[in-house]
Structure 1
Amino acid sequence: MANEDAHTLLDASAQNPPPQSSKLRMLMCEVGLQALLESSTDVRILCFQRLVRMIAYGQATLILTLYFSALGFSDERIGLFMSATLIGDVLISFFLTLFADALGRRRVLILGCAMMFTSGLIFAIFDNFWILLIAAIVGVISPNGNEVGPFRAVEESTLAHLVSAESRTDIFSWYALLGRIGSGLGTISCGTLVQVLQDRAGWSNVYAYRFIYVSYSSIALIKLYSSFKISDKCELPAFLERRKKRAEALDESLDENAIMLENMQSSEDELRDGAVQEEDGRLMRITRKSGLRSSIPSFSARSKKTLSILMPLFFLDSFGQGLVNNSWLTYYFNDKFGVKEASLGGIFLTGHIVATFGALIAASTAKRLGVVQTMIITHIPSSIILGLIPASSNLFLAIFLFAVRAGTNMMDTAPRQVFVSSIVLAEERTSVMGIMNVVRTLSTAFGPAITGAFAGQGRMWISFEIAMAMKLLYDVGILSYFLKEKLDRS
């Protein structure tokens, strides 16, 4: 009897959890953490990859302009380097994301990790400007702290494929949040490590900066290992079906070739055999060409119209972002206020911490106001604050404006990812998101060179004001075209 009573109490406790547990669960659901904890292993691996990748990007960005200055490169050449790097990244990312669904998403992620590892290693060894430029263009080096390479488009499309429409906002919020946390950890770890190597170990600036790129390559290896752990569930059904058919066709071809070889050995008509081989070779070449063409994705009329509107709008927003990217912001604080590496890491960590809370608020806000509305009401204040940063002659006020801008800017990220992934068909997501990321990267490529020219003349503040104007134009465009747009929640 006592055992029955005990079981009854346990069942009642399971059905009616304590108030504290219920409130905690409600809070976790509100900020989207519950959705992440209940997600699949693949989802958690992709979020983990975003975290560690942004640690590497955060480390490299903090010291990029300082590293090049230590090597004796001019401000104009630094700006040219960042622009050329982003243009090269555009070409590689466009190709890889366009064919990612046909080549296999996991393969593309693995290839990106290998490129990232190679680039970091070259930056750690060489000091020739042109060698570094080629390594950055062909490989994966983030010159501005933002996403480069094929990773983001493939990961976002895969996440939208793996999670339900109801959980998409939560997962994308944490995906963006972990990226921001990674950037913060990268900047603070880089600043602290460089300071320790310089002050305690007696390393020169150049060797301390090179050690950061060794860390960059090491993180690429961690990403590479985790990429092999991704399952076939991340691939589109069409890709898995094609792979299965290719495997079956290969088995049949091997059997047929064995039979053909046996017949050829016993045949006395060599001329006829040669003609047959030539005909088979022609057929194989035709098949390969048609297979390549079939890998190029096609877009629906709705997606074409959406792209024609979004591409110029995203171009404006990212052009403004490129003018005042994180590398130039570190240069701005160092040049105007004399802030050292360790303090620079602390400043950017503060921004990332504030952005963390912004991302959590964004998940809850988007559920209540809607994705597009959340994008706009957070992006407009962020744009205005950006234009106010150079007006401050006080370091603490500049840091305060920078932190507030980081928080409001982060609130726009996850809703925008959900917006793009939900406005096109599921089978078009990877290609469309890849194109949008290419547009954003291409537009950011022009800004650094312009800012380099302004910085060389002591007029870097002009870049902040142009950036604010471009971003506000983007907000007006989104409001005009997509405020009442119905999203595809499949």
Structure 2
Amino acid sequence: MPPAQAAAPASHPSREVRLLLIGRGLRAAVDGFVAVLLPAYLLALGFDVWHVGVLSSATLLGSALMTLAVGRWGHRLPHGRLLRAAGLLMALTGFAFAGLSAFWPLLLVAFVGTLNPSAGDVSVFLPLEHMRLANAVQGPAAQGPSRTTLFARYSLVAALCAALGSLAAAAPEALVRAGIGLLPALRGMFVVYGLAGVAIWLLYARLPPSDDDGPHAPPVPLRESRRIVARLAALFSIDAFAGGLLVQSLLALWLFERFGLSLAQAATFFFWSGLLSALSQLAAPRVARRIGLLNTMVFTHIPASLALIAAAFAPSMQLALGLLFVRAALSQMDVPTRAAFVMAVVSPSERSAAASYTAVPRSLASALSPSLGGALFAAGWLAAPLLACGVLKIAYDLTLLAMFRGVHAEE
């Protein structure tokens, strides 16, 4: 093959990856401020906390079901078209939330739309973007970064942009000081969310055509990989349930109750722990190249869980915070490697379905446990959520290692 012809395909995935990373960063940024502003907006509209909870649950449930539908039936349409449709849905969601005031219309929009009130990404975009990223790398001979490296960049961009986006949640207060009413200022932020959806539609309209957009190797629903994906989904749900016992708000509550941290001190802690978690994902590809995807997932996760358990019984604030920093530096290294592992153990045509079927159960499981963690705190058992979270995660890691040690997953 002539050199010019051999080099041509390399620019195709490079451009595709760049567009996908920009789109993921933009979504994470607007999700960052929407997660903070959604309850404030609903309260400003006159709803009570029960309505806030119901509407937040509707967003998670609707997103999970839509993601599941993409995994089940999305193979019938080109994925490029589905990504653009998701961008338009995101735009309509933002504009509808900015213009509506009654509860039932807002509930309907929340259910069918793309709002994300949680820290993670549970959306119809997720399996589609994962599939495109995975297909941009075709084995060790492919030019450019490895699959795990791409997923690490994807996770890092999302984490950093979400952190920056959360800072934008202060914008309505600044607008109020400038003479604009609180409710119009909050509505304006949802308009910004809608405009981000338009920008994502324009961005994904520039995606180069891929195999799933044409007649070659179309994506299919799960067939030969059904069993392994079901086992992974069940295990990932245990991990997500354990993590839900100690979501960030509950960890902050533990720090307030146990050590009397001020809001400023807690904010500083979460900034640095979030930065450690984001940056540690850059190390995940290097570790995975040395010890493998599965070993990276397990042998970074277990020390993080042990640090969490030790922090639950730490006698001093300094020791507890140090152990939590250790946990932050290790606990998220499995995020890109987990995604790369799933993409590696299924056939290319099943990747979208696999991403859907492993993401949705995680989302549903993580939505169940925060109330249990809060109840344990309310009962005065301050160490119990940390202990339960750590023990469950270690059990998940050991089971994952035992079940998939013999499965070949090419990094």
TM over 0.5: yes
Contact between 1:66 and 1:331, CA under 8 Å: does it hold in 2?
A: no
The structure 1 residue matched to 2:294, chosen from 372, 386, 404, is 372
Name the CA distance, whole Å, in 2 between partners of 1:69 and 1:402.
33
Aligned-residue offset at 1:365: 0.8
Does 2:263 match 1:339?
yes
Q: Residue 259 of structure 1 aligns with which residue?
A: none
- Report the secondary structure of 2:263's partner residue: coil
Q: TM-score, normalised by structure 1?
A: 0.69
Does 2:165 match 1:186?
yes
Q: Residue 221 of structure 1 aligns with which residue?
A: 198
Give percent identity, aligned residues only.
Answer: 28
Cα–Cα, structure 1 residues 437 and 116, in superposed 2: closer, same or farther, change >3 Å?
same
Cα–Cα, structure 1 residues 85 and 394, in superposed 2: closer, same or farther, change >3 Å?
farther
Name the CA distance, whole Å, in 2 between partners of 1:373 and 1:145.
26
Q: What's the C-alpha RMSD, in Å, of the aligned pairs?
A: 3.7
Name the CA distance, whole Å, in 1 between partners of 2:151 and 2:17.
10
Aligned partner of 2:63: which letter? D
Does 2:276 match 1:299?
no
Aligned-residue offset at 1:147: 0.6
Q: Alpha-carbon deviations, 1:39-67, whole Å to 9, x = none?
A: 52111111111111111122222344555
Name the CA distance, whole Å, in 2 between partners of 1:329 and 1:205.
30
Aligned-residue offset at 1:457: 6.9
Does 2:27 match 1:49?
no
The number of residues matched between the two structures is: 395
The structure 2 residue matched to 1:124, chosen from 98, 104, 107, is 98
- Report the secondary structure of 1:114's partner residue: helix
Range moving further from structure 2, 117-126 or 381-390:
381-390
Q: TM-score, normalised by structure 2?
A: 0.81
Aligned-residue offset at 1:368: 0.8
Cα–Cα, structure 1 residues 81 and 474, in superposed 2: closer, same or farther, change >3 Å?
farther
Name the CA distance, whole Å, in 2 between partners of 1:310 and 1:216.
33
Q: Residue 112 of structure 2 aligns with which residue?
A: 138
Cα–Cα, structure 1 residues 331 and 95, in superposed 2: closer, same or farther, change >3 Å?
farther
Aligned partner of 2:30: which letter? A
Does 2:143 match 1:169?
no
Q: Residue 487 of structure 1 aligns with which residue?
A: 409
Aligned-residue offset at 1:337: 4.9
- Report the secondary structure of 1:148's partner residue: coil
Aligned-residue offset at 1:309: 1.8
Does 2:83 match 1:109?
yes
Name the CA distance, whole Å, in 2 between partners of 1:206 and 1:455.
34
Give the structure with the higher percent helix.
1
Contact between 2:28 and 2:159, CA under 8 Å: does it hold in 1?
A: yes
Does 2:153 match 1:231?
no
Contact between 2:233 and 2:359, CA under 8 Å: does it hold in 1?
A: no
Query: Structure 1: any 5+ residue segments left out of the alignment?
Result: 1-35, 244-293
Aligned partner of 1:444: which letter? S
Q: How does 1:439-478 map to 2 (within 5 A)?
A: 439-451=361-373, 462-478=384-400
Query: Structure 2: any 5+ residue segments left out of the alignment?
Result: 1-9, 141-145
- Higher gyration radius (CA): 1
Aligned-residue offset at 1:369: 1.2
Name the CA distance, whole Å, in 2 between partners of 1:137 and 1:455.
30
Does 2:68 match 1:94?
yes
Aligned partner of 1:145: which letter? A
Contact between 1:143 and 1:327, CA under 8 Å: does it hold in 2?
A: no
Name the CA distance, whole Å, in 2 between partners of 1:461 and 1:472.
17
Aligned-residue offset at 1:121: 3.0
Cα–Cα, structure 1 residues 459 and 62, in superposed 2: closer, same or farther, change >3 Å?
farther
Name the CA distance, whole Å, in 2 between partners of 1:449 and 1:92.
24
Cα–Cα, structure 1 residues 43 and 151, in superposed 2: closer, same or farther, change >3 Å?
same
Aligned partner of 1:189: which letter? A
Name the CA distance, whole Å, in 2 between partners of 1:413 and 1:53.
18
Name the CA distance, whole Å, in 1 between partners of 2:353 and 2:108.
26
Aligned-residue offset at 1:401: 5.4
Cα–Cα, structure 1 residues 92 and 183, in superposed 2: closer, same or farther, change >3 Å?
same
Q: Residue 129 of structure 2 aligns with which residue?
A: 155
Contact between 2:131 and 2:352, CA under 8 Å: does it hold in 1?
A: yes
Aligned-residue offset at 1:232: 0.9
Q: Residue 5 of structure 2 aligns with which residue?
A: none
Name the CA distance, whole Å, in 1 between partners of 2:338 and 2:284.
11
Q: Alpha-carbon deviations, 1:5-43, whole Å to 9, x = none?
A: xxxxxxxxxxxxxxxxxxxxxxxxxxxxxxx99952111
Name the CA distance, whole Å, in 2 between partners of 1:127 and 1:455.
35
Name the CA distance, whole Å, in 2 between partners of 1:458 and 1:120.
40
